[in-house]
Amino acid sequence: MNSSRFSFRTALATAALAALAATAPAQAEVRVTTLATPLTTAPNTGGGLNDGTGVWFNVLTGTAESRGFFFPDPLFADGLFFLLLDTVTYSSPEAMIFTQGFFSRGNGVVYESVDNPNPAWFGYGAVIGPNTGYQSPGAGFPDIGPLFGNGQVGRGYVGLTIRNPAGNSASDVFYGYADITINPNFSLTLNAFAYEDVMGRAITTPVPEPATALSFAFGLAGLAGLAWRRRMAPR
């Protein structure tokens, strides 16, 4: 084969592949931010509306911080949320999550239902998307528990609707979640957060790795064996 012809064909094929790659849509990606050191809410003695003490995180920018009394500046930004432990408003401490975005443009929390407009509490492998729960940015309540919310002590997820900065309406949203541990005193520990970067596409909360589940099973088996040996040991 003529080498110049072969080189021309190779160059043509390479150019075609490059053009195809340039025009192909970007691959969808779940953008996860995992905190190397999880953040826990300190007691908020101002009731949340007058005190910025708590954990602030922005799903779009991948940032999180613990703050004292002062609120961040700017206070309202796309993708910004605020976790707090309210110790003054109710008869017992209440865990809360506030949306600090522009409600009319889509930032919000996924609520349990129209009849229960407090944040829904999701477990492993839950799908959070357009048909999940009750979604009306700024229309529900911030309570996670224990008095009014749906949260349970332990680790779980709160569903988020995150306004797409390039959009203009409440339907221009990304779906995401906050990975949260509710502690026995109802302080909240933020472990991670994530969003699906394709607008309107559902996101699924993580499922424990098989190795983790297997280790857990072996651990239970080991405890059972230890208990059996103790029962069988001579007294």
Q: List, for residues 25-73, the tens digit of each pLDDT value.
A: 445 699 999 999 999 999 999 988 899 999 999 999 999 999 999 999 9
Domain ranges of the chain: 29-214
Nearest to 137 by CA among 166, 191, 100, 165: 100
Cβ-count burial 145-183 (b if 16+ within 10 Å, e if not): bbeebbbeeeebbbbbbbbbeeeeebeebbbbbbbbebe
In angstroms, the Cα distances linking 105 to 101, 110, 172 are 8, 15, 8
Cis amide bond preceding 142, omega within 30? no
In angstroms, the Cα distances linking 232 to 40, 94, 156, 224, 227 are 45, 48, 40, 12, 9
* Residue type (1 letter), 47: G
What predicted TM-score, i.e. pTM, was given to this entire model?
A: 0.78
Residues in Cβ contact with 90 at an 8 Å cutoff, skipping those fewer than 6 apart? 147
The DSSP code for 88 is S
Confidence at 210, pLDDT banded by 50, 70, 90: confident
pLDDT given for residue 47 in this prediction: 87
| φ, ψ at 6 (rounded to 5°) | -60, -45
The DSSP code for 137 is T
- Tell me the pLDDT of the chain averaged across its residues: 84
Q: List, for residues 81-121, the tens digit of each pLDDT value.
A: 999 999 999 989 999 999 998 888 889 999 999 999 999 99
A 10 A CB-CB count for 36 gives 4
